[in-house]
Amino acid sequence: MSTSLDSGWFTEVFDSQGSAFSLKVTGKLHDVQSDYQHLEVYATETFGNLMVLDGCVMLTDRDNFLYHEMIAHPALFTHADPKRVVIIGGGDCGTLREVLRHPGVERVTQIDIDEEVTRAAERFFPALTESNDDPRAELAFIDGVRWVDEAEAESVDVLIIDSTDPVGPAEGLFTTDFLRRCHRLLRSGGVMVQQSESPLYHSGSIIHSLRRDMREAGFDSVATLPFPQPVYPSGWWSVTLAGKGREVNDFREQDAREAGLPLDYYTADIHRGALALPPFMRRAFD
């Protein structure tokens, strides 16, 4: 992975796949080296503000709703009655906002090691942080792996791993050992969801390994849901769900249809369709 800024274009180069993605920028708004990563925010011509971590595109104003809705709502509508939700990562707070759209959720804890991400989101992506003052929300800027280790067993209904790519600060979130600790944290009937990279680039590698490791960690069922994400490598992304004593290939479809949430991508039909994987993905998982 490499980046360049040339003639007013921000370009993220995905070297291993011989591909790149570019956005025309009109200026740099923010640049800080935190204790964990290099964070930049740019203004773009057509995608609004752009957040970049260690040279990798994290989100834009224009299309972040795709990712945030798909990492949150499928998991919440798969669980029978989610009350206690934990988000590991998610420092931009977009996933937190989506979780808090569910009135039945009683408490959400977001754990992100890098407070700079949240502070930048508050300044440059205020729509994503509009629910941060919700009394059900708790923000903790600590190591997510350590938090999982120290949390009470069987205390969480839905666990969302909203991480960056499996390198640097997020590397520890893609291991079988960590998944076992997540399994311990969930109550019976609990659901875990993790961002799982590009179906086109990673079905036979990262996604295949994550699904296998989830089962080895004790989860009873897994499901990978692909969805469009223009600013990420290949323009296509995925989340993978795992259930503890729950089948994650089924969900509360009628509840999803009747929820009336103010969303831009997720619907019950989108959820049902995302569960129908194309043949090349199914072959990669065999």
DSSP string for 90-113: -TT-HHHHHHTT-TT--EEEEE-S
Residue in 162, 213, 220, 286 annotated catalytic: 162
* CB neighbours of residue 81 within 10 Å: 11
- CB-CB contact of 104 with 282 (8 Å): no
Residue 92 known to be catalytic: no
- Terminal CA-to-CA distance of the chain, rounded, Å? 28
Q: 109-125 burial, b if ≥16 CB within 10 A, otherwise e?
A: bbbbbbbbbbbbbeebb
* The one-letter amino acid at 74: P
What's the rounded Cα separation, in Å, for the pair 5 and 144? 32
**Helix intervals (H) in the chain:** 64-78, 94-99, 115-124, 144-150, 176-185, 199-202, 208-216, 253-258, 268-274, 279-285
Give backbone dihedrals phi and psi of 184, rounded to 5 degrees, phi first: -60, -35
Give the residue numbers annotated as catalytic, written as ranges: 162
